[in-house]
Amino acid sequence: QHDTKAIQALDSAHYIHPFTDHGDLATRGSRVITQAQGIYIWDSEGNKILDAMSGLWCVNAGYGRKELAEAAYQQLMTLPYYNSFFQTTNVPAVQLAAKLAALAPEVRGRKFEHVFFSSSGSESNDTNVRLVRRYWDLMGQPQRKTIIGRHNAYHGSTMAGASLGGMSGMHAQGDLPIPGIVHIEQPYFFENGRPGESEAEFGLRAARALEEKILEIGADKVAAFIAEPVQGAGGVIIPPATYWPEIQRIVDQYGILLISDEVICAFGRLGHWFAYEKFGYRPDLVTFAKGVTSGYIPLGGVMVGDRIAKVLIDKGGEFNHGYTYSGHPVACAVGLANLELMEREDLPRKVREELAPYLAKRFAEIGEHPLVGLAETCGFVAGLVLVKDKASKAMYDPELAVGMMCRAHCFRNGLIMRAVGDRMIIAPPLVMTREQIDEMVALIRRCLDDTLSELREKGLHA
């Protein structure tokens, strides 16, 4: 048992949390999460909560998997640490690299046979900046420096990660973005589609913003384009079907590198080991983290496609970049055990063929709710938009923070759902049963009903 008040007092006295207003912490206190099993977490007051966000889009294989704890324990006892610098290596890192290379599908002649390891998505995207600039240096085009990202994208919290990302709130602090990084519009039809424009037309227009930006900068100065297959932290923004093929045409035409940031979308989240396969595009670099260990231990990295790997290895000499924990044996042992578990349980296929279609069907029903203007899913991520008026799809004044109101009802009802403005999003563990999907959908409905009641009581909804 835990003394919640005592933990909260220590928490606000000593612990600076990421992305948290500490004024709130001092007055209301953090919710103290103490244990987890399957798809549920428990807080220090004994409340059971259905975790529809998989921690932070991490816990793909669910909580309480003994195989992962055992893999960590065995490796901690055998070789807890050694570095991979200066021609040393370790067995789990080698085996995990080979496993990832075997799982990453070849796409239109591009193979992914090489992996660079880090401990997080942010670090991996820093590595990507180093890799693309090194590549262009080695190719004799050192003027190709600029990397194009997208507004409202999330690529991490380091200086480079936060700069590649397009979160205006993050750019408002710390003089970001750093030089050499620019952004284009996100492909969000619900908000950015024009009257009379079809979703397919919008997808092409959103992709062509990349071409316009390339021409504005000068194609010979552009190094790479970075994007998430489906934008996660930006609110589960699912691109129109026309978007990715047009992006592929543009990066091919101008010869620029394509970075697919799959920190959220890989490892079964969209029903495939890697998400580029789902959308059929051909990246040069693929960022991964989170789901590679189901979040049990920090690990990230970059799948380096052969276009870059060949140049880096054949002509590169020493790549002056790396982290103490690159290829950490314990993290890699857990990663390996996690991927083997996901293979044994056939999770990507199960998501693709069974769970995601069922979630899509149940979400279509949620779309009927009077407060919901749009409900959509892609694999095992989903988003719904809270609207003031269902017919016109008019949204609430952001000042009213209706999304946060809904989130508070989720907390009370024992459900973790995330609010991005008035877009509510989920990314549940991939080990759900249909009954658990039903349970989650029932909870979402209850939270929507409670939010609607509160809005009506306040005279804010008809």
126 binds ligand PMP per the rule CB under 6 A: no
Closest by CA position to 166, among listed 416, 156, 7, 174:
156
- What is the closest distance, in whole angstroms, from the C-beta atom of residue 58 to ligand PMP in the complex? 9
Contact 101, 273 (CB under 8 A): no
Number of H helices, E strands in the chain: 18, 15
The one-letter amino acid code at 70 reads: E
Q: Which is nearer to ligand PMP, 18 or 109 (CB)?
A: 18
Nearer to ligand PMP, 339 or 371 (CB): 339
Q: Which is nearer to ligand PMP, 295 or 329 (CB)?
A: 295
Q: How far is the CB of 302 from ligand PMP (least distance, A)?
A: 11
Q: β-pairing, 381-386 with 423-426?
A: antiparallel
| CA separation for the pair 200, 279 (Å, rounded) | 15
SS3 of residue 385 by DSSP: strand
Sheet containing 415-416: order of strands: 33-37, 40-43, 48-51, 415-416
Distance from C-alpha of 110 to C-alpha of 92, rounded to nearest angstrom: 26
Contact indicator for 391, 26 with CB cutoff of 8 Å? no
Question: What secondary structure letter does DSSP report for 348?
Answer: H
Q: 196-208 b/e with 16+ CB inside 10 Å = b?
A: eeeeeebbbbbbe
Q: Which is nearer to ligand PMP, 238 or 441 (CB)?
A: 238
Nearer to ligand PMP, 232 or 240 (CB): 232
Closer residue to ligand PMP in complex, CB, 335/373 = 335
The one segment of 8-16, 38-46, 87-95, 257-265 that binds ligand PMP by CB under 6 A: 257-265
Q: Which of residues 236 and 312 has its CB atom nearest to ligand PMP in the complex?
A: 236
Q: What are the CA-CA distances from residue 139 to residues 225, 256, 282, 316 (Å)?
A: 18, 12, 20, 10
Nearest distance in Å: CB 228, ligand PMP: 5
Instruction: Provide, rounded to whole angstroms, the least separation between the CB of residue 332 and ligand PMP.
Output: 16
**Least gap, CB of 232 to ligand PMP (angstroms):** 5
Q: From start to end of 14-111, where are the E strands?
A: 33-37, 40-43, 48-51
Query: CA–CA separation, 89 vs 94, rounded Å?
Result: 7
102-110, 142-150, 225-233, 307-315 -> range binding ligand PMP (CB under 6 A): 225-233
Interaction of residue 289 with ligand PMP, rule CB under 6 A: yes
Rule CB under 6 A: is residue 263 a binding residue for ligand PMP? yes
Q: What minimum distance in Å lies between the beta carbon of 449 and ligand PMP?
A: 30
Residue type, 303: M
Size of the site for ligand PMP (CB under 6 A): 15
Nearest-approach distance from CB 300 to ligand PMP, in angstroms: 6
Residue nearest to ligand PMP (CB): 121
Residues 154-173 that bind ligand PMP (CB under 6 A): 154-156
End-to-end CA distance of the chain: 45
The answer to whether 260 contacts ligand PMP (rule: CB under 6 A) is no
Our CB check for ligand PMP shows the closer of 263 and 417 to be 263
Taking CB under 6 A as the rule, does residue 233 contact ligand PMP? yes
Shortest Å distance, C-beta 286 to ligand PMP: 11
Question: Is it true that the peptide bond before 142 is cis, omega within 30 degrees of 0?
Answer: no
Only segment of 2-10, 129-137, 227-235, 237-245 that touches ligand PMP (CB under 6 A): 227-235
Q: Is 236 in the site for ligand PMP (CB under 6 A)?
A: no
Q: Does 304 bind ligand PMP (CB under 6 A)?
A: no
Distance CA 72, CA 55 (A): 20
Minimum distance of ligand PMP from residue 438's CB (angstroms): 28
Nearest Cα neighbor of 331 from 55, 47, 120, 54 is 120
Q: CB-wise, 154 or 202, nearer to ligand PMP?
A: 154
Q: How far apart are CA 41 and CA 8, in angstroms?
A: 18
Residue placing its CB nearer to ligand PMP in the complex, 386 or 425? 425
- In the shown chain, the binding pattern of residues 106 to 125 toward ligand PMP, with x for contact by CB under 6 A and - for none, equals --------------xxx--x
CB of 118 to ligand PMP, least distance (A): 9
Q: Which of 43, 126, 228, 422 binds ligand PMP (CB under 6 A)?
A: 228
Say if residues 329 and 90 touch (Cβ distance below 8 Å).
yes
362 vs 418 by CB, closer to ligand PMP:
418
Long-range contacts of range 163-172, CB-CB < 8 Å, 24 or more positions apart?
Answer: 164/125, 164/129, 164/226, 166/234, 167/233, 167/234
Name the residues that contact ligand PMP, by CB under 6 A: 120-122, 125, 154-156, 228, 232-233, 261, 263-264, 289, 300
